[in-house]
Amino acid sequence: MERGGLIPLRNSAGLSAALLVCALPAAAHAASCDTYVGQTLTPQTFAAAVAKVAGLPAKAKGETAAQYEARKAAAFASNSGPLIIAKEPEGQKYFEYDAAAQKLGIVEYAFHNKYFNEKDAFAAAGYPDTAKTSTNFVAVIEQVEKTVAPPSAATASAPKQLGKLHLTSKVIFERPAPYNENDWVTHLFPAAAPKPHYAGTSPMTPAEATALTPKLKLAYVVEPKAPYFLAGRLKYSATPHLDKVDIAEDFQILVADFQCGLVLTDAGKVLGAYPTE
């Protein structure tokens, strides 16, 4: 479900001491992303990145919240360094080539442009206070829509039937972001604040742009933090005068600090690495 633009999202829990990520000055953060350029990487799928935590038993009777969070932290602790998670581009229209400057501009929407109701999702997963402000980011890594039943018009023998839609959403949710009172959008990539909202650019000849752009891949570099991983189901009943479908959504959320967005060739070579807020 596309959201058609960037919407500021909501607040998350504090960092775990086991996986504390120190805030870097902007220049240092950018430099750390630059180290990825030129490397050949194999980003993980979302499922592979959260496999150890997703497979943990649910909070047991008598287990405290702190003990449960410690189990999830321990499952991530074996990771050596940040997670690099693959993300399919939201559309080719978000890759804009400037032939005169010989560079490819990556519009921020290529990285995240699908809607997810993180406030209701956190409440459904038992964390109602985790997502309730308006200065966070959420990136939908995968979202599959399946029509369970299409809507049907009323007939002489049967009333109008609303359709049913099932969503499967896998998302990354991040910390509060700096708020700019002059810009209603809070940008995941600081470089994207001015139009044309480029997360970054990559030098490229016209021939390279023609050959590479249709096959470009994206990835996020992230560091997990408490409460690490949540899963559950949301249900939305259709309102006849507004919506034509009932929606059920199964979701998985990785809570993490975004560090960089990567642009890669289909062979995994990193062409650009853009720092996040």
Q: Which amino acid is at 53?
A: V
What is the pTM (predicted TM-score) of this model?
A: 0.81
Strand order in the sheet with 198-203: 95-98, 103-107, 198-203
Residues 6+ apart with CB under 8 A from 24: 32
Could you say which DSSP state residue 90 is in? Answer: S
For residue range 58-76, list pLDDT tens digits in order.
Answer: 888 889 989 998 999 998 8
For residue range 170-193, list pLDDT tens digits in order.
Answer: 999 986 555 555 555 678 898 998
Instruction: For the chain, count helices (H), then strands (E).
Output: 5, 9
